[in-house]
């Protein structure tokens, strides 16, 4: 099904017609053109639900990113501690070797 539909052009004699490809019209430029209050309310509720779902998805992505960053920081801290411990062991091992050669 096509996203285009025939609409009346904005002239006084209503003779002109134009094809509008609604896929190329930004969503925020499409307004509700109806006198049916229930339809307008339903459309607004759907729009609000979509905005809420997008907000929840953004917050969830933000929380997941924060959790990944926290895990990465823990991993880096653990690796730094391991490296420091290895360097201490190597330094102690060199100190013992020097002590044994002097004796």
- C-alpha span between 43 and 36 (Å, rounded): 11
pLDDT in tens, 10-62: 555 556 666 666 666 666 555 655 567 788 788 889 999 999 999 999 999 99
Cα-to-chain-centroid distance, residue 15? 47
54-96: pLDDT as tens digits: 999 999 999 999 999 999 999 999 999 999 999 999 888 877 7
Q: What whole-number distance in Å separates Cα of residue 77 and Cα of residue 71? A: 10
Report pLDDT for 74. 98
Distance CA 10, CA 15 (A): 10
Q: Residues 6 or more apart from 68 whose CB is under 8 A from it?
A: none
pLDDT for residue 101 is more than 80: no
């Amino acid at each position: 099904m096509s996203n285009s539909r025939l609409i009346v052009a904005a002239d006084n004699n209503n003779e002109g017609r134009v094809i509008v490809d609604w896929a190329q019209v930004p969503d925020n430029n499409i307004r509700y053109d109806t006198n049916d209050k229930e339809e307008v309310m339903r459309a607004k509720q759907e729009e609000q639900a979509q905005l809420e779902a997008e907000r929840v998805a953004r917050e969830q992505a933000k929380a997941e990113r924060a959790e990944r960053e926290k895990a990465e920081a823990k991993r880096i801290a653990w690796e730094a501690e391991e490296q420091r411990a290895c360097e201490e062991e190597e330094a102690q091992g060199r100190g013992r070797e020097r002590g044994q050669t002097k004796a």
